[in-house]
A and B are shown apart, each in its own frame.
Chain A
Amino acid sequence: MRPVSLPYALTAELTHRCPLRCPYCSNPVELQKRENELPTDMWLNVLEQASELGVAQIHFTGGEPLLRPDLELLVRRARELDLYVNLITSGVGLTDQRASQLAEAGVDSIQLSVQAASAELADSIAGFPAHELKRQAARRIRAAGLPLHMNVVLHRANLHLLEDIVELCASWGAERLELANAQYYGWALRNIRQLLPRREQLQEAEAAYARAQERFGHRIELLWILPDYYEEFPKPCMGGWGQLSLTVAPDGRVLACTAASDIRTLSFENVKERELAWIWRDSPSFNAYRGYDWMPEPCRSCERRELDYGGCRCQAFLLTGDARAADPVCVRSPHRGIVADRVHAAAHGDAGLSAYSYRGR
């Protein structure tokens, strides 16, 4: 066994509560309720343990992290510990006062989500009239002296509007925009018929992305996150299981990634019962897919295993029922047919917006 590396980043999911109900939400289908959320003192303790362990960067997210009144306190403590602090938010609830409090507490970077370029479409995707609030949030973030970074999840209903979205974010003063093609876990997997684009749509969007680079690339840094269902080989998910980062869920469970609670065959340790360092180094869940010994064929003897670690464990579990299986995105996977069937269905299906299965608040 190789020595265990140290984690660079910790994603702190402060809450699963959120005013938005996006059909591709990265939270698990089983949302944690408010009464199960870790209290302030436990989050402070998590930050201290994370810093000791070697974590350098904290991503405060949710749900909507602004729903936690202790957010500023947590940001301040993280900065005292010399952690780099990212806040990932819908912008709903970001008043002038909170924006300046967060800046003063030492937030390094804020990432604001947007759903589409027009309020009408954006609000129907989010299941909540958030678009105008986001426009105000963007202005407040900049007024507080913070750089504005944005992200949009791309799917069937907004992919053809990519250039409009880039233009909107540039006009709001964003310095960076993540164009993230939807990934099919939890909620997005439930809504895959409504979300998965057709191959031609994707090819048109890639051309639009190139045009947007030409038009706006000098003003705004654009990042394109690949849609893995249309790739031949899987993504090197998380840089390998338990290699670079960890997630603490609202109830204190520690996960190898935000989607990992979907893997029902693993049980995850909780910061209420165990030290973070022990969970990272020694827990069965974090050691389950480290190294290469756990791999069955075709990954075990594959020369690509050091490039992609067999792909994503969560995707393997969700699509095949076996988290050790090769990621079915891989053309060498015996389960590639599962992904191919969905791509085929996307080419022929024509589901409308009204059919979204929205998450609860």
Chain B
Amino acid sequence: MSSRALSERPRLRSPGRMKYDKARQTELLLLPERVVELNEAAGAILRLCDGQRTIAQMIGELETKYGQSGLENDIVEFLAASAERGWIE
């Protein structure tokens, strides 16, 4: 998982879901046995893990959204850590 190809299309681990939580004003990842409170960047990345987009597309969209370039390493690293934790597949 640590060397994900940019052509891979990660998705949230079934049956996981994302939720924007109004009470805490934060993104949550909901899994059968746990709830994970995410920071804004983590939430933004996981929201794009829909099994449709490639990692390369996700990087492009996020760089546009935040008006930044050079996010590739951070995003790839975060996705590897997310797979390790069983958040995505």
Give the B-binding residues of A (Cβ under 8 A): 6, 8-9, 52-54, 56-57, 82, 84, 86, 108-109, 111, 146-147, 149, 176, 221, 223
Report the minimum CB–CB distance from B27 to chain A (whole Å).
Answer: 11
Query: Could you say which residues of chain A place their CB within 8 Å of the CB of B28?
Result: 56
B35 at the interface (CB under 8 A from A): yes
Kindly provide the distance from the CB of B63 to the nearest chain A CB, expressed in whole angstroms: 29
Q: List 6 A-B contacts (CB under 8 A).
A: A8-B35, A52-B23, A56-B28, A57-B30, A86-B32, A149-B32
Contact assessment for A57 and B15 in the assembled complex, using a CB-CB cutoff below 8 Å: no
Report how many A-B pairs have Cβ atoms within 8 Å: 38
B2-24 near A? 1/0 per residue, CB < 8 Å: 00000000000011010101011
Q: A54-B24, A56-B28, A108-B32 are in contact. Are A84 and B17 (CB under 8 A)?
A: yes
Write out the residue numbers on chain A whose beta carbons fall within 8 Å of the beta carbon of B86: 221
Do A56 and B32 touch across chains, with their CB atoms under 8 A apart?
A: no
Q: Measured between alpha carbons, how far is A149 from B32 in the docked complex, in Å? A: 9
Cα–Cα distance between A176 and B16 once the two chains are bound (Å): 14
Complex contact A111–B32 (CB within 8 A): yes
Given A9-B35, A56-B28, A176-B32: A84 and B23 interface contact (C-beta under 8 Å): no
CB interface residues, B 21-51, toward A, < 8 Å: 21, 23-24, 28, 30-33, 35
- Among the interface residues A56, A86, A149, A221, which one has the most CB atoms of the partner chain B within 10 A? A56
Residues of B close to A149: CB separation below 8 A: 32
Considering the complex, give the chain B residue whose CB is closest to the CB of A6. Answer: B23
One of A52, A56, A176, A223 near B30 (C-beta < 8 A): A56
The distance from the CB of B62 to the nearest CB of chain A, in whole angstroms, is 24
Measured CA separation A219–B21 after assembly (Å): 33
Q: How many whole Å from B89's CB to the nearest CB in chain A?
A: 11
- Determine the distance from Cα of A56 to Cα of B31 in the docked complex, in whole angstroms: 10
**By the criterion CB–CB under 8 Å, are A56 and B15 in contact?**
no
Contact B23–A147 (Cβ < 8 Å)? no
